[in-house]
């Protein structure tokens, strides 16, 4: 199970996770896309040296991308511990993962440093405090690229300023059932927010999960950015809950039928694709959210949503599996967990 | 690493494909990448297309030429490359391209000035200046509301901060 799922968070009936990341760069190095391997190694070493000063009650493990198998790289992305961008240039990139898996320091993604904190449920305050602490610690030793006017300098102009991307992953099956998601996405775009798929930029939505995040990083301070996003997430929570109640009142049997069919299918299927599994896990999660399914925990469902993905399922069975084998082993794994 | 298709050129495009759960890794040169048709470089709404449209609107042809020659001495990136890729080569590029960046940032963010966190070590002064600015706005609001007692407290805070700035300068 991905460790970060452990722990309490608010509004778990709608919000799966909160993710906060900041982009930071160092002066005196070129940005990662312009770097030689030698330069990237020098920078990595500088950061590792700084990490030796970290307080003794926290510890991080260091991973080099080119030392990981392709399956492991994909599995870390599926667990949301690293971003897809980090594995694009394996010889340049690495990451430090905190033991509770709630914090990752990515080295040489698009920027020299991408620091992320990932928490279950809605939890912006703890997330921001966590990020801030790591940032303050690193800043004590590193020469950050910072400008009075433009703020933290980043490789891409879309991150300049705070370098902050705050996002919440929401599960909104009922808003999607009544066809409100497209309107929602259009509305958010107008107020400087974006909606992405489950692995971030350019990825598809699956299992009625959407990642909502700020777009603007310059001209608004961190608290403001967080406040704005939080207000929007509250609105989504209220709307999704309202539609759920309404559907339960008007179509109880249809909803229960849908949920228990999915539950039964997952419990007995002998072969299942990841797409089909996501769809039914989403229905089962809805069952849990509505109080219809009582013998499963949120963290169990969330872990399954990760474990059934192609990289993770191969990691669980400790070998490479082709399409067909994967569908069989996926079904087996789900049966064992439900 | 050599291109896996032509086995001649250096592989510069590294590509991980996940289709229907199947993971495939490709390392190819730009030419083979373009020929393979696997890559949708021509997506009309790709970031780069939108980007080029955004940034090109700012200059007429004559200006464009002189701006394009701006080159960062630290990383070697010139403005025409920046225009194409949408990425800075290093933090020094921000100084070199500074004049061009204000309209660009306004286009992307609607703002051109950082309002957030200031590195503690790098600049206590800026943090205080920004705090003073915010307190002055607050002071005005309070005066308008005729909340004079509260306003006096804010005024004292401002004086305190201004004094500490003055001390630093000496």
Name which of A90, A63, A87 is nearest A77 in CA terms. Answer: A87
Smallest Cα distance from A7 to chain B, Å: 29
Inter-chain contact A155–B88, Cβ cutoff 8 Å? yes
For A306, the domain range is: 251-337
Asked if A75 is an interface residue toward chain B (Cβ–Cβ < 8 A), one would say no
A185 touching chain B per CB within 8 A: no
Q: Mark whether A166 and A147 lie in a shared domain.
A: yes
Q: Is residue A145 part of a domain?
A: yes
User: Same domain, yes or no, for A197 and A329?
Assistant: no
Question: Which residue on chain B is closest to A275 by alpha carbon?
Answer: B20
- The verdict on residue A263 lying in a domain is yes
Chain B residues touching A151 at Cβ < 8 A: 114, 116-117
- Please report whether residue A233 resides in a domain: yes
Distance from the A30 Cα atom to the nearest Cα atom in chain B, whole angstroms: 5
User: Whole-model pTM?
Assistant: 0.81
Tokens (6 digits) for A126: 């703890």
| A218 and A299 within one domain | no
Along the 338 residues of chain A, how does pLDDT read in single tens digits? 688 888 778 999 999 999 999 999 999 999 999 999 999 999 999 999 999 988 888 999 999 999 999 999 999 999 999 999 999 999 999 999 999 999 999 999 999 999 999 999 999 999 999 999 999 999 988 989 999 899 999 999 999 999 999 999 999 999 988 888 888 888 888 888 988 877 665 566 688 999 999 999 999 999 999 999 999 999 999 999 999 999 999 999 999 999 999 999 999 999 999 999 999 999 999 999 999 999 999 999 999 999 999 999 999 999 999 999 999 999 999 999 99
* Same domain flag for A203 and A149: yes
Cα–Cα distance between A215 and A246 in angstroms, integer? 33
A235 within domain boundaries = yes
Domain boundary among A221, A241, A261: A241
Domain assignment present for A226: yes
Task: List the beta strands (DSSP E) in chain A.
Answer: 15-24, 60-64, 94-98, 103-107, 113-120, 146-147, 151-152, 164-171, 193-196, 209-214
- Do A132 and A155 lie in one domain? The reply is yes
Do the strands A15-24 and A113-120 form a parallel or antiparallel pair, or are they unpaired? antiparallel
The shortest C-alpha distance from B40 to chain A (Å) reads 13
Has residue A246 been placed in a domain?
Answer: no
- Is the domain of A276 the same as that of A176? no
Q: Which of A241, A271, A293 is the C-terminal boundary of a domain?
A: A241
């Amino acid at each position: 199970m991905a460790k970060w799922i452990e722990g309490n968070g608010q509004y778990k009936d709608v919000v799966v996770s909160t993710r906060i990341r900041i982009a930071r760069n160092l002066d005196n190095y070129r940005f990662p896309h312009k770097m030689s391997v030698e330069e990237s190694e020098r920078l990595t070493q500088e950061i590792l040296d700084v990490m030796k000063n970290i307080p003794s009650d926290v510890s991080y493990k260091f991973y080099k991308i080119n030392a990981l198998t392709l399956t492991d790289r994909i599995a870390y992305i599926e667990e949301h511990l690293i971003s897809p961008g980090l594995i694009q240039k394996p010889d340049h990139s690495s990451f430090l993962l905190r033991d509770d898996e709630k914090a990752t320091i990515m080295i040489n993604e698009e920027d020299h440093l991408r620091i992320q904190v990932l928490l279950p449920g809605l939890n912006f305050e703890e997330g921001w405090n966590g990020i801030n602490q790591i940032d303050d610690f690193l800043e004590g030793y590193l020469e950050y690229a910072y400008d009075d006017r433009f703020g933290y300098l980043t490789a891409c102009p879309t991150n300049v300023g705070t370098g902050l991307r705050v996002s919440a992953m929401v599960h909104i099956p009922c808003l999607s059932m009544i066809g409100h998601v497209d309107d929602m996405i259009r509305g958010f775009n107008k107020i400087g927010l974006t909606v992405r798929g489950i692995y971030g930029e350019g990825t598809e939505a699956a299992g009625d999960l959407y990642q909502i995040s700020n777009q603007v990083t310059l001209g608004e301070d961190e608290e403001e950015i967080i406040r704005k996003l939080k207000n929007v997430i509250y609105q989504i929570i209220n709307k999704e809950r309202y539609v759920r109640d309404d559907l339960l009142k008007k179509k109880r049997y249809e909803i229960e039928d849908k949920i228990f069919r999915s539950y039964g299918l997952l419990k007995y299927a002998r072969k299942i694709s990841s797409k089909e599994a996501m769809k039914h896990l989403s229905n089962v999660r809805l069952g849990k959210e509505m109080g219809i399914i009582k013998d499963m925990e949120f963290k169990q469902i969330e872990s399954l949503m990760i474990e059934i993905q192609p990289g993770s399922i191969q990691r669980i069975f400790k070998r490479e599996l082709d399409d067909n084998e994967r569908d069989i082993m996926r079904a087996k794994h789900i049966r064992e967990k439900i | 690493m050599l291109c896996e298709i032509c086995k001649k050129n250096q592989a510069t495009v590294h590509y991980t494909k996940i289709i229907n759960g199947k993971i495939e890794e490709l390392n190819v040169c730009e030419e083979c990448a373009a020929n393979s048709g696997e890559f949708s470089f021509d997506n009309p709404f790709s970031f780069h297309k939108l980007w080029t449209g955004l940034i090109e609107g700012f200059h007429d042809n004559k200006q464009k030429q002189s701006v394009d020659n701006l080159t960062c001495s630290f990383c070697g990136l010139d403005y025409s490359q920046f225009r194409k890729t949408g990425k800075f080569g290093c933090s020094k590029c921000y100084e070199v391209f500074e004049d061009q960046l204000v309209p660009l940032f306004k286009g992307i963010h609607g703002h051109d000035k950082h309002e957030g966190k200031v590195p503690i070590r790098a600049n206590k002064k800026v943090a205080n200046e920004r705090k003073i600015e915010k307190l002055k706005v607050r002071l005005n609001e309070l005066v308008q509301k005729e909340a004079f007692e509260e306003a006096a407290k804010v005024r004292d805070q401002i004086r305190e901060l201004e004094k500490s700035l003055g001390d630093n300068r000496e």
